[in-house]
């Protein structure tokens, strides 16, 4: 064996010994890290399975409670919804709270329903759910509260940059009608009527409200071409099936 080959083998042995020494030194950390990664993946997958399972169970319980309510067993439905609120996961407890408030309204407890919606509005971090709770509370207060009560809930939603502005203005207009402020009610209805994003069903309702105000003499007949068109639309055959009766104080009824 040549001297060069001998030195090469010795060098390789030394490198091999160093590698084995390094491996013995760091192997526990490498193996531990691999085990930790596997454990994290297993925990993540297990948690995803658990949450999906819990959400599925919450969904089933919620739908069962809704079916119970549809059958007319409101007490049983309330108890089932309480279970979802206490034990449910994801967004199902919040949905159950909304339905519980609706059941209170169906049972004639408007004050309790408004209080439940107010509580939801005050505790929701989701802006859309908060606005929905305020709108639902205001819809009950049109017949069971004052104009101030309605404005306190949806007054801030009746602005141009709010997605809820149309329903908010409609509810405020109905409350103004009930309070006898017919000019303000007309202005609120026309705000919705003139909104380019108002859907046809809501536009027809607003035209009907304005036509009812003018035909009863509560406000002066519209003079502008846009208002005349709105009144003509209110008299169209599409509105012949509009309800002849109105809620308390002869106010036009809002669709719930």
DSSP codes joined into one string, 179-231: HT-HHHHHHHHHHHHT-TT--HHHHHHHHHHHHHHHHTTSSPPP-SHHHHHHH
Between 31-35, 142-146, 215-219, the lowest mean confidence (pLDDT) is in: 31-35
Average pLDDT over all residues of the chain:
77
168/149 Cα distance (integer angstroms): 13
pLDDT at 74: 83
Q: How many residues does the chain have?
A: 256
Asked whether residue 193 is domain-assigned, the answer is yes
Buried b (16+ CB within 10 A) or exposed e, 6-32: eeeeeeeeeeeeeeeeeeeeeeeeeee
Question: Is the Cβ–Cβ distance between 77 and 61 less than 8 Å?
Answer: no
What is the share, in percent, of the chain residues with pLDDT greater than 90? Answer: 39
Between 33-42, 101-110, 205-214, the lowest mean confidence (pLDDT) is in: 33-42
Give the residue among 116, 120, 49, 134 at the shortest CA–CA distance from 91: 120
pLDDT at 158: 92
Q: Rounded mean pLDDT of 174-200?
A: 93
Q: Is the pLDDT of residue 240 over 60?
A: no
Specify the number of domains making up the chain: 1
Asked whether residue 211 is domain-assigned, the answer is yes
Asked whether residue 16 is domain-assigned, the answer is no
pLDDT at 235: 46
Q: Which has more pLDDT, 222 or 220?
A: 220
Asked whether residue 223 is domain-assigned, the answer is yes
Asked whether residue 40 is domain-assigned, the answer is no
pLDDT at 149: 96
pLDDT at 244: 39
Q: Which domain holds residue 237?
A: 108-256
Q: Classify 245 in phi/psi space as left (phi over 0), alpha (psi -120 to 50) or beta.
A: beta
Asked whether residue 114 is domain-assigned, the answer is yes
Asked whether residue 231 is domain-assigned, the answer is yes
Q: Is the pLDDT of residue 165 over 90?
A: yes
Q: Is the pLDDT of residue 96 over 70?
A: yes
pLDDT at 101: 92
Asked whether residue 242 is domain-assigned, the answer is yes
């Amino acid at each position: 064996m040549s001297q060069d080959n001998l030195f090469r083998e010795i060098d390789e042995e030394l490198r091999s010994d160093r590698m084995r020494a390094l491996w013995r030194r760091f192997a526990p950390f490498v193996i531990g890290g691999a085990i930790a990664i596997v454990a994290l993946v297993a925990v993540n997958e297990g948690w995803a399975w658990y949450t999906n399972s819990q959400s599925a169970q919450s969904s089933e319980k919620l739908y069962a409670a809704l079916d119970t309510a549809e059958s007319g067993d409101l007490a049983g439905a309330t108890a089932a919804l309480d279970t979802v609120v206490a034990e449910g996961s994801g967004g199902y407890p919040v949905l159950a709270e909304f339905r519980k408030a609706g059941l209170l309204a169906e049972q004639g407890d408007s004050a309790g329903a408004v209080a439940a919606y107010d509580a939801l509005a005050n505790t929701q971090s989701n802006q859309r759910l908060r606005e929905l709770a305020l709108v639902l509370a205001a819809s009950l207060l049109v017949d069971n509260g004052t104009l101030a009560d309605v404005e306190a809930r949806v007054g801030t939603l009746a602005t141009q940059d709010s997605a809820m502005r149309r329903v908010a203005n409609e509810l405020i207009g109905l409350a103004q009608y009930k309070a006898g402020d017919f000019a303000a009610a007309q202005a609120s209805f026309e705000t919705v009527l003139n909104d380019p994003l108002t859907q046809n069903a809501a536009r027809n309702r607003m035209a009907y409200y304005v036509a009812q105000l003018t035909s009863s003499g509560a406000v002066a007949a519209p003079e502008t071409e846009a208002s005349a068109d709105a009144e003509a639309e209110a008299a169209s055959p599409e509105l012949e099936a509009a309800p002849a009766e109105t809620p308390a104080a002869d106010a036009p009824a809002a669709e719930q």
